[in-house]
Structure 1
Amino acid sequence: MSKTTRKTTRAAAKRPTKAAKTTKKAAPRRASKTATKRPAPEQATVNDRIAAALEAIAAQLAASTAKPADSAATLQSAEAFVWQPDGRLAPVPRVSRVELELLQGIDRMRDILIENTERFAAGLPANNALLWGARGMGKSSLVKAAHASVNARSGGNLKLIEIHREDIESLPSLMARLRNAPFRFIVFCDDLSFDGHDTSYKSLKAVLEGGIEGRPDNVILYATSNRRHLLARDMMENERSTAINPGEAVEEKVSLSDRFGLWLGFHKCSQDEYLAMVRGYCGHFAIGIDDQQLEREALEWSTTRGSRSGRVAWQFVQDLAGRLGVRMTGK
């Protein structure tokens, strides 16, 4: 082989063929097409979240459609229930209550609430009731005692359902569950109040009055609160200072309590009323003690607590019964 031939052969070996050039250029293009088809990690995460959310919604809808079928049997099982955040009615085997005749110093409020409850149990028009005022004066005790007294006379057709303050936004769901039930219901919320930027009171307003469906005929709402208007004073002051029209802003807040047809005010009791409560408890539970000694110890107890109320009287009687070895049965 000549020298010229060898150079030509080496040069040909170094130069890539046309097919090789095509292969090298095509490979990156195929890779880029494949990359566009594969979802980015962020897109895959979003898709997973959407799928999980849809599955959760489907499971919740399936569960909600099954709950009303179980509620009729549940309502037969007890006279009182607690509404759970997940939409269940939990039966209360034994309600913690005080006998109606033991509630002293609140005769007028007692008579009004009993009359309203009796009308409602009989299927007659009745009002939602707000029991407000001094703490420890028997507001929640009166609601539970009134229910027990009227229910005993109405053949067990009146049910008491407690809803916690933090679950008030689920009240429309509870109303929908009770609307077609074959009983009458007192929905009871103890210590109802709203603070700060809490807007759940709007759900309560719509249920009480103003909603499209309105309150079911077989449901009435009883609430207790230390505040007459259910809202903190600083909450209303903030609305007044920041609103374009301060009067309208405050009216929006105050209108909640206006939707309760009955306002029953509870005020601090006098010394005579406090002692009457103590004597009533001691007589009911057969706690034998000299009256002068009972009065002296009861007043000393209230002085150390800094207040006189039905709650303070009850706490004193519990302490007295414990010291004397008396078992407080018959509650």
Structure 2
Amino acid sequence: MPDADNRDVLARIADALERLAPPVAHQADLASGDAFVWDGRGTRAISPFDPVAIDLLTGIDQQKARLLDNSRRHARGHPAHDVLLWGSRGMGKSALAKSVVKALQAQGEDLALVEAPSDQLENLPDLFERLAEVPRNFVLFMDDIGFAEGSTEPRVLRSMLEGGASQRPANVRLYVTSNRRHILARQMSEQDDPVNPRDVVDDQLALSDRFGLRLGFHAASQDDYLAIIARYADVHGIEFEPEDALLWAKQRGSRSGRVAWQYIVELAGRAGRSLG
């Protein structure tokens, strides 16, 4: 029988092994529920799934209509595109991707969203296997994707989009946001590369070309910015002065949907109003 010292050592070893062992991955029921998060090992439900109402998204009517149409097709099992939403920060790329799914769910379409971090590309084939077994359609959403110079991840993503062994299943479409039209930034060093610098650029373009639908989001004009604020203000019963709204944007160095919403939050806070 081990003495007290040995028992103490064995207990410490057991505790250390327990800490080293990864926790059991939680697996949500993908056959029901509106939205999920994938962490590289398992899925959990997002509850409640409550994105911005699609009618509140202002100044992006064309993008809204095209993404709604594509998503409705996918929800019904018709041919649909993988989508790249690119452009200025704060102009509603992420909000639109989520709001479209929610709007279609409200219309009775069986479409679910799965959000995956952009640094988990190597684990997506495991997720694809699980989604392929579920008799419903999914939007796999990856926000603010970007790659470091020399990274092999762009080729991994290209393989998923078209023709590779890890290609996404038929019931899944990728909706990806990026601040850049071609996702990858062209490095200045490429222009000094004597070995086929054009090949580097072509390789970058080949990734964005894999998305059948590419929607651009551009910086808001002054009129667009004020229209966005007016829409939010009308819904929440808040009055505002255009000059004050423009000063708010000037102080932040940009005009965008995000800045407009922050201004509404500021006005509600000044007035002691709830935005719930």
The TM-score with structure 1 as length reference comes to 0.73
- CA displacement, residues 190-249 of structure 1 (integer Å, 9 cap, x when unaligned): 001112232112111101002146331100000111001111221xx4345446322223
1:275 is aligned to: 226
The answer for the alignment partner of 1:55 in structure 2 is: none
Q: Confirm whether residue 153 of structure 1 aligns to residue 111 of structure 2.
A: no
List aligned pairs for 1:32-47, cutoff 5 A. none
In structure 2, how many angstroms separate the alpha carbons of the residues matched to 1:314 and 1:299? 13
For structure 1, the 5+ residue unaligned runs are 1-58
The CA RMSD measured in Å over matched residues stands at 2.0
Match of 1:26 in 2: none
Aligned to 2:7: none
Matched residue count: 255
Alignment counterpart, residue 307 of structure 1, candidates 250, 254, 266: 254
Structure of higher CA gyration radius: 1
Matching residue within 105, 113, 130 for 2:59? 105
How far, CA to CA, are the matches of 1:150 and 1:197 in structure 2? 39
Counterparts of 1:1-331 in structure 2 under 5 Å?
74-85=29-40, 87-155=41-109, 157-212=110-165, 214-234=167-187, 237-239=188-190, 241-242=192-193, 244-287=195-238, 289=239, 293-329=240-276
What residue is the counterpart of 2:6 in the other structure?
A: none
TM-score, normalised with respect to structure 2? 0.86
Task: Name which structure has the greater RCO, CA cutoff 8 Å, separation 6+.
Answer: 2
Whether contact under 8 Å (2:125, 2:166) holds in the other structure is no
Q: Distance in 1 between matches of 2:134 and 2:192?
A: 46
- CA distance in 2 between counterparts of 1:113 and 1:99 reads 15
Looking at structure 2, the residues matched to 200 and 170 of structure 1 have their Cα atoms a distance apart, in angstroms, of 12
Distance in 2 between residues matched to 1:139 and 1:259, nearest whole Å: 19
2:212 partner letter: G
The amino acid that maps onto 2:68 is: I
Q: Distance in 2 between matches of 1:96 and 1:137?
A: 19
Following TM superposition, the consecutive aligned residue runs of length 4 or more in structure 1 with deviations greater than 6 angstroms are none
Displacement of 1:301: 0.5
Q: What per-residue deviation string (whole Å, max 9, x for no partner) do you get for residues 263-316 of structure 1?
A: 1011111111111111111111122x2xxx521221110111111110000000
State the AA in 2 paired with 1:311. Answer: R
- 8 Å Cα contact 2:121/2:153 also seen in 1: yes
Shift of 1:76: 4.0
State the alpha-carbon separation in 2 of the partners of residues 96 and 166 from structure 1.
Answer: 24
User: Alignment identity in percent?
Assistant: 44
Residues in 2 aligned to 1:214 and 1:114: alpha-carbon distance in whole angstroms: 24
